[in-house]
Amino acid sequence: MKKTNASILIIDDQEDILFASKVYLKKYFENIYTLNNPKNIVELLAKNTIDVVLLDMNYRIGFEDGREGLYLLKEIKTLSPKTVVILMTAFGKVETAVEGLKSGAFDYILKPWENKKLLESVKQAVDKSRKDQKKIKSPEIVDDFFIGNSEIIKKAYSLADKVAKTDANVLILGENGTGKFVLAHHIFSQSERKNQPFINVDLGALNSNIFESELFGYAKGAFTDAKTDTPGRFEMAQNGTIFLDEIGNVPLHLQSKLLQVIQTKTVTRLGETKPRPLNVRIITATNLNLKLEVADKNFREDLYYRINTMEIILPPLRERIEDKIPLAEYLLEKISEKYGRSQITFDKKVLEQIEKHAWNGNIREMENKIERAIILCENNKITVSDLDLEQITEYENLDDIQLSSVEKATVEKALLKHNNNISKTAEELGLSRGSLYRRLEKYNISTN
């Protein structure tokens, strides 16, 4: 039997599952890798080209809601966009797996699986990976994305292009959904480090208990589960760029550790005493006003100035009136292609709604609404009801309303919608739980 020349990575904390799946799939595919510790994903993806990942959704006892799997899915898709991910989940957890499909997973299989079903799913995933790779014309070509024609956004990208050629640390400020990650990657792609690693770290999603081990790495035996020497994200970005998103959410007691790494340009793994030299370009981002956070003693002033050699502010979509319709048309074309429905167009009344709508969730909200509309629309025409904007047009005239009033009302609406469920509210608003709690305190909003 001729094997398919493909590389498959299986990630699961159960050794029997790793062994069984490896033995079976080895009959059909050339390269099979296994990991029992998801923390090593970054290192393995940096060293190997992986076509398909089989990803378990739960790793720690007591945390079996699949959130770890969804976080790891996001990491994989960021580090290796052409890698196709299949989720593995136990019966009864299908709802979370479906959420994973919406976040970019190709398929899911239930454990224990049928071998034929497993093989068929992996074969289809390999085919998709091959097709995706053909679409990548050249490693030098950056994925197309929408910038816009408004002066305010052109000014931001002009500044980004200037600073990209340097090694200066960059702080990107902007509301959730304004495209901070896209801008960070654009800076990286225009820099002299573009052929080196680009490591994205969502600091808002990192539990403080694993902050140091994730960022700085650890030595074997440093703690109970430290079975091998493991580099952290900073080391993974060596000679490249590290993007620290949601830096405003880092607790004060950990900010000093981050500051030391930036100041000394070295990193010391947990369990070691000898610092390792770093050659890394640092880009950070936050949706918070760090000057106010510094004034309120929530953020270290010395860290603020270390990360803020150059500051770039991304404007909210409501300040980019002339970009709304062109952006919507760009997203329509992009998402329609994803679903194989390239003939879809907007009804004329929809374009009027798009222009009037405040878009408090910015580009992320628009992308979500348009994707939903593409799925729902009939006769290849998106109507006003498909886009579902009728109930969110209260803040069309923002000149007389303070931004804080809009934000408070948005949070209150989301809480009401989800019956004060913090996790679901934070997810809809694109915030971490910590960021949401800070807003509840800021606006004196009760969840009782």
Q: Is residue 448 domain-resident?
A: no
Residue type, 207: N
| Beta strand 276-277 pairing with 266-267 | antiparallel
153, 176, 260, 207: CA torsion to nearest 10: -160
CATH number of the domain encompassing residue 77? 3.40.50.2300
Residue 274: in which H helix or E strand, if any? none
d(CA 89, CA 105): 13
Each as own residue / partner, the long-range contacts of residues 308-311 (CB below 8 Å, 24 or more positions apart, any chain) are 308/169, 308/171, 309/168, 309/169, 309/170, 310/159, 310/163, 310/168, 310/169, 310/170, 310/171, 311/170, 311/171, 311/173
The pLDDT of residue 448 is 62
pLDDT digits (tens, 9 = 90+) for 412-447: 888 888 878 887 887 788 777 767 777 887 777 877
Q: Is residue 191 domain-resident?
A: yes
pLDDT digits (tens, 9 = 90+) for 310-358: 999 999 999 999 999 999 999 999 999 888 888 899 998 999 999 999 9
The pLDDT of residue 1 is 63
The pLDDT of residue 424 is 82
Q: Provide the b/e sequence for 240-262 (b: ≥16 CB within 10 Å).
A: bbbbbbbbbbbeeeebeebbebb
Instruction: Give the SS3 label for residue 414.
Output: helix
* Size (the chain), residues: 448
- The structural domain count of the chain equals 4
Q: Specify the higher pLDDT residue, 311 or 404.
A: 311
Does position 259 have pLDDT exceeding 80, yes or no? yes
Contact 241, 193 (CB under 8 A): yes
CATH number of the domain encompassing residue 332? 1.10.8.60
Q: Which of 293, 313, 333 finishes a domain? A: 313
Q: Is residue 190 domain-resident?
A: yes
Contact 269, 217 (CB under 8 A): yes
The region that residue 14 occupies, defined by phi over 0 for left and psi between -120 and 50 for alpha, beta otherwise, is beta
Q: Which of 263, 287, 313 finishes a domain? A: 313
Does position 19 have pLDDT exceeding 60, yes or no? yes
Residues 308 and 323 in one domain: no
Residues 89 and 118 in one domain: yes
d(CA 118, CA 29): 13
Q: Is residue 186 domain-resident?
A: yes
The pLDDT of residue 74 is 83
**What's the distance, CA 205 to chain centroid?**
10
Residues 6+ apart with CB under 8 A from 91: 110, 111
- Locate 18 and state its tokens: 């790793």
Residues 271 and 354 in one domain: no
Residues 265 and 372 in one domain: no
Residues 71 and 201 in one domain: no
Residues 185 and 49 in one domain: no
- Residue 12: burial class (beta carbons within 10 Å; 0-12, 13-18, 19+): buried
Q: Is residue 173 domain-resident?
A: yes
pLDDT digits (tens, 9 = 90+) for 149-173: 999 999 999 999 999 999 999 999 9
pLDDT band at 210 (very low <50, low <70, confident <90, very high): confident
Q: Is residue 140 domain-resident?
A: no
Domain range for 380 is: 317-387
Average pLDDT of the chain is 86
